[in-house]
Structure 1
Amino acid sequence: MNRHQLGFWVLTALVVGNMVGSGIFMLPRSLSEAASPAGVILAWAATGLGVLMLALVFGSLAVRKPELSGGPQIYAKELFREGSHGSLLAGFMATWGYWIGNIAGFVAVITTFASYLSAFFPVLTSNKVWLNFGSFTLKAGNVLTFLICSILLWGTHAICLKGMKGAGRLNFIATATKVIGFALFIIIALFAFQKSNIGPFLAPRTDASGKTLGLLSQVNAAAIATLWAFIGVESAMVFAARARRKQDIRRATIAGLLIAIVLYVGISVLTMGLLTQNQLIASQNPLVDGITNVLGPVAGQLLAGLGLISLLGSTIGWVLLSSEVPFQAAKLGVFLPTFAKENSKGMPKISLWISNAFGQILLLSTISGSISAAFDFIIYIATLAYLLPYLVASIYHLKLIWTGETYSLYKERVTEGIIASLAAIYSLWVIVAGTANLKTFLLGVALIVSGILFYPLLLRYRKAQSKNI
């Protein structure tokens, strides 16, 4: 069968769909909590520029090294001598961390779906107590949210098993619908924007310990949240092995990023003018609450419906992405071989089952807290898992530029050297900003280091394989 099924538009839809997912709905609240309007705008500017540099790096590497597909983490093995133990270990650990980060990504999308479904079914936020066990309280809303999230997860699993073409088409339809819908939201918000809701443009914020944060500290704090909005910019690169034309990977990455920037900046800034700062920070559904203030509850429900369509498409894209990462790595020999198994449709069946089983475990976070708390927790544990592969890709690009491999023109090396350097600096900056929060650092490191428990399985397989030869 033809495995090169993904053209430019489907690849672009995967990029936009995976970026414009949970973040666009929940980030207005997270950003208002982290920074004043001035800090939010500066964080968007810095993140937009940094992610653009990363997108250019991803696009260049996809064209220059088409045999290395499956995501930015795969370049970790190329930083060491080919066939060495260091190469194998780096490839495995980077893939493990990035894979777990992707699983956290689709769990964030699914929990946001439940949040917007609660606009139609308020019982999902019911505080009725079903069970008390010591300090643990089981509420009706949390149980129902967990069940809805689980049904969405395994329904998406069934769709993905049926083949890339059908899943890609559904994702494209959902992405096109949400781009049109969010463009309408931006137009309405422009006319309804109230400057008085912004509050002080530059105002201090306090962290969890009560310490006052100045503008620079606010930008650092908001940069983690704004980066989360762009996670998924590498989606076309992950599916490079399934693309019809390698050039489409770079084009889809840039096009998807530009569409996402317009939507994200427009919506996050304009939502601040639809709700007061206090309303925004307290909101579980900031976009719905904002449009309801302007046009009434019917408009809010229509937007919630658009959110559900959007998040359904994003869930498909993220589940596909999460299974593709270890699948491609296993085919390159740097991940557990069982993940390389396919079904008759060419889909990574074992990878899908294991990825979604881990996702189901993470969904347990919705049992004991609010949806927004679950969303924030998942962002925390995923941040470092994404940042390290982004830094690895930038360093590998610099290595190619330094050695001149795949380059024939000196001018190209200089231009792309500047881009790769800026991408690396940006990645380092956000890592430092993010790991200043000890919780983020420890959870991120724990995620990545936990893979070492499974590394001996890969060594055992390779040893058995070498004996057979």
Structure 2
Amino acid sequence: MAHTDAAVKSPHAAKLAFWTLTSMVVGSMVGAGVFSLPRRFAQETGVAGALISWAIAGTGMLMLAFVFQRLALRRPDLDAGVYAYAKAGFGEYPGFFSAFGYWASACVGNVTYWVLIMSTAGALVPALGDGDTVLAIVLSSAGLWGFFLLIRQGVKEAAAINRIVTVAKLVPIIVFVLIAAFLLDPKVFAENWGGADYAGSLFSQVRGTMLATVFVFLGVEGASVYSRHARRREDVGKATVTGFLAVFAIFASVTIVSYGIMPMAEIAELRQPSMAGVLEYAVGTWGMVFVSIGLVVSVLGAYLAWTLMAAEVLFVAAGDRDMPRFLSRATAADVPVPALVMTTALSQVVLVVTYFSEDAFNFALDLTSALTLIPFLLAAVFAVKVAAGRGAGPDGGAVARGSGGEMTIAVLATVYTAFLLYAAGLKFVLVSLVVYAPATILFAMARREQGRRVFSPGEAVLFAVSIIGAAVGVVALAAGWISI
């Protein structure tokens, strides 16, 4: 196929309708995370803590969903939402950081999908272990590049596949919730209420679940990221909120009903995917097989959606000259192949790193969440600026001041994402900077291509801070102060 330096306004761009955009939101959120929720929560807290966690996460993420909805309407000129909002609000280098961080989080998140597939198969093939053995990594690598070839055929075809997969993968999850709710044992549920077997206050228990809730909600911004393909701009916001509400109900239900099936100390010891173990305990072997099949379908669909979104962010950033020019090339079928190659390659690198981690799945899950927090925080703060009437509007004039409700939503989203950074802890902030800092090479390449100075004074300060943080992170990893 012929290659061009395709602009963002490609005439070949597929136009996606409301339900397709909604399916992309649901498809990118419902992936590996939901199948890991029972064990992940049981390791941290009981029913009371889980209810509080979901109340916080649900409210916070709903505020973020509203933020993306409002920004899609208030700044329809900004494509690839998360990245574009950071750039518009804080300048090119923070915008670059946001674009790279969001892209990197998607790549790392893709690794969790393959780890979980191999861990699921490991119940039958011991050589696959928990998804982190040499054989598991080799097979996962084959899957990575197989999907690269599929997506290279065209965005429209891949989006259609995702819509079908989204419906198919919801069936086993909904069946799990219904069966678990029907078989729920009130005595077991009551014994799991307080999380008495776990050290720490209720606050520390809730804090321990926060990265898991971030991970499962990643994708809430999916329609915003893919906004340039929307048939109608207003569908972007509607799809975001509709998809979020549907998925929130599913995630909270999966977590809570599991506490009524078996003691949480036993849930905490289940191999991933723990949803399969819970259903096996409740109804026998067929339950594990049923959930495992659903997991494979779900994970492959989510992988497809996230790979599409990751490549899209690099492509749009390059089109805006914030990434090197070679990443702006696309085929006649509107596939950004160089961006897709980089996306698959980074996932490949992280997949190899999981071999050296103590817990491959949890490491990839937590790092994915941590990398996403800075882009989310910048988007939320930008929404505060827009609501306050600060900055330029789509036409270059002053942006209109928003309502009190719009400001409240933006402030709540900002507070929530700031709390998530605190909940992540210093460990994942430092590891994130180890990933972020070297990426500045791409920013420097883009500036050199344009014959511009690499850093302004303010950008140089931000670069220095990132380098110092990355250096501290490397030393901490080397000395064993923090581990992966």
TM-score class, shorter-chain normalisation, is 0.7 to 0.9
Aligned to 1:239: 226
Tell me, in whole angstroms, the C-alpha distance in 2 between the residues paired with 1:161 and 1:100: 20
2:252 is aligned with 1:265: yes
Give the one of 84, 87, 110 matched to 1:106: 110
TM-score, length-normalised on structure 1? 0.88
Tell me, in whole angstroms, the C-alpha distance in 2 between the residues paired with 1:180 and 1:9: 18
| Preserved contact between residue 28 and residue 222 of structure 2 (Cα < 8 Å) | yes
Measure how far apart 1:450 and its partner are.
2.6
Give the one of 137, 143, 162 matched to 2:134: 143
Partner AA of 2:162 in structure 1: N
Where 1:185 maps in the other structure, the secondary structure is helix
2:417 is aligned with 1:457: no
2:194 is aligned with 1:202: yes
Tell me, in whole angstroms, the C-alpha distance in 1 between the residues paired with 2:146 and 2:180: 34
Measure how far apart 1:379 and its partner are.
2.2
> Structure 1: which 5+ runs fail to align?
81-86, 127-139, 207-211
Partner AA of 1:314 in structure 2: A
Aligned to 2:184: 193
Using the aligned pairs only, state the percent identity: 28
Tell me, in whole angstroms, the C-alpha distance in 1 between the residues paired with 2:49 and 2:334: 46
- Cα deviation digits, residues 182-222 of structure 1 (max 9, x gap): 1121111111112343434123566xxxxx41001111121
- Cα deviation digits, residues 33-81 of structure 1 (max 9, x gap): 122221121011100000000001001111222221113132222224x
Structural RMSD (CA): 2.3
Aligned to 1:169: 160
Partner AA of 1:236 in structure 2: A
| Preserved contact between residue 95 and residue 335 of structure 1 (Cα < 8 Å) | no
Tell me, in whole angstroms, the C-alpha distance in 2 between the residues paired with 1:112 and 1:421: 36
Aligned to 1:433: 423
| Preserved contact between residue 271 and residue 286 of structure 1 (Cα < 8 Å) | no
Aligned to 1:420: 410
Aligned to 2:239: 252
Give the one of 309, 315, 327 matched to 2:297: 309
Aligned to 1:182: 173
Aligned to 1:21: 31
Measure how far apart 1:367 and its partner are.
3.0
Partner AA of 2:238 in structure 1: R
Which deviates further from its counterpart, 246-255 or 62-71? 62-71
Partner AA of 1:161 in structure 2: R
> Structure 2: which 5+ runs fail to align?
1-10, 454-484
Where 1:49 maps in the other structure, the secondary structure is helix
Aligned to 2:355: 367
2:52 is aligned with 1:42: yes
| Preserved contact between residue 357 and residue 363 of structure 2 (Cα < 8 Å) | no
| Preserved contact between residue 19 and residue 232 of structure 1 (Cα < 8 Å) | yes
Give the one of 71, 74, 82 matched to 1:64: 74
- Cα deviation digits, residues 433-458 of structure 1 (max 9, x gap): 212xx321211222222322333212
Where 2:330 maps in the other structure, the secondary structure is coil
| Preserved contact between residue 94 and residue 448 of structure 1 (Cα < 8 Å) | no
Give the one of 201, 207, 213 matched to 1:214: 201
Aligned to 1:328: 316
TM-score, length-normalised on structure 2? 0.85
Runs of 4+ aligned residues of structure 1 deviating over 4 Å after TM superposition are 404-410
Tell me, in whole angstroms, the C-alpha distance in 1 between the residues paired with 2:428 and 2:59: 23
2:87 is aligned with 1:96: no
Measure how far apart 1:462 and its partner are.
1.4
| Preserved contact between residue 44 and residue 223 of structure 1 (Cα < 8 Å) | no
Tell me, in whole angstroms, the C-alpha distance in 2 between the residues paired with 1:369 and 1:79: 37
